[in-house]
Amino acid sequence: MGASRKAQVLRQSPGLTSKTDRPGPSYEAQLNALVNKKSEPELYRALAAQPGDHAHHKILLETIDKLFVGLSEEDQATLRNYIGDKHGAAIGNSMRNLVNMPGVIHQGRTGEDSIHQFARNQGYEIDSKLQQIGLARDILDASTVPSVKYRMHVADNYLTEAVPAMNNKINDLLTSYYDQGPSVKRFADETVLDTYRQALDGDINTSDQGKAVTVIADKVYMNKAINGNGNGKR
């Protein structure tokens, strides 16, 4: 039996386990603190979970946690800060590390494409039922080494290779899913998406809904949480 989810979240994102350690409710609580549902309904709708969505950890919770297990609290903090400072990345249940995506492309069904199937096939996800390969094997090996500096080195490799590849896959999966027809479009009006595209990231195509959802979520968090203009909260 692996470590409990609560312990994993506590190691990676302290302070986000007070109400729940489940990623979906945690994401919703953080979104509610950043975006006013009444005054910004379209933005809220774009970022909120839709029926059938799962909240996915972009930097895989259970996999990256292996680098934290066995470290002192001080070394865990060192590793967290290193990941944030060098890579600008959030881990654990931080809203910036979560993306809502339909369950079918999250976990998938047998023979169907999904982010977790992709991660396992590429050796980006530790799965106790499979022989570990690639960077997942490197992380598992590093978990037996007590040196936080060595674990930082392994984290560098994972964050510069595996995470961008998985993010690209998420974008592709989401865009393909939302391209199936207007009934599954996440944005009620393309002009709404275009408005936020121009305001937040000029490189997003209005047709690339997958990238738009993930980039907008990240930008909203950074702009509102850091600048303190989300619901009047800092």
Average pLDDT over residues 198-215: 50
Mean of pLDDT over the chain? 82
Domain assignment present for 190: yes
pLDDT exceeds 50 at position 70 = yes
How far, in Å, CA of 144 to CA of 131, rounded?
17
pLDDT exceeds 50 at position 206 = no
pLDDT of 181 reads 56
pLDDT exceeds 70 at position 40 = yes
- Angle at CA 113, nearest 5°, toward 111 and 117? 85
Which of 81-90, 143-152, 215-224 has the least mean pLDDT?
Answer: 215-224
Confidence of residue 73 (pLDDT cuts 50, 70, 90): very high
The closest of 172, 168, 158 to 123, measured between CA atoms, is 158
Average pLDDT over residues 203-219: 53
Confidence of residue 111 (pLDDT cuts 50, 70, 90): low
Flag whether the pTM goes above 0.85: no
Which of 3-12, 110-119, 201-210 has the least mean pLDDT?
Answer: 201-210
Domain assignment present for 232: no
3-state secondary structure 41-65: HHHHHHHCCCCCEEEEECCCHHHHH
Task: Note down the domain range covering 143.
Answer: 5-227
Domain assignment present for 150: yes
Confidence of residue 195 (pLDDT cuts 50, 70, 90): low
Average pLDDT over residues 74-97: 96
Please tell me the total count of domains within the chain: 1
pLDDT exceeds 70 at position 187 = no
How far, in Å, CA of 25 to CA of 69, rounded?
25
**pLDDT (tens digit, 9 = 90+) per residue, 154-168?**
999 999 999 999 999
Domain assignment present for 233: no
Domain assignment present for 234: no
pLDDT of 83 reads 98
Q: Which residue has the higher pLDDT, 129 or 157?
A: 157
DSSP string, 80-145: HHHHHHHH----TT-GGGEEEEEHHHHT--TTS--HHHHHHHHT-S--TTS---HHHHHHHHHTT-
Domain assignment present for 145: yes
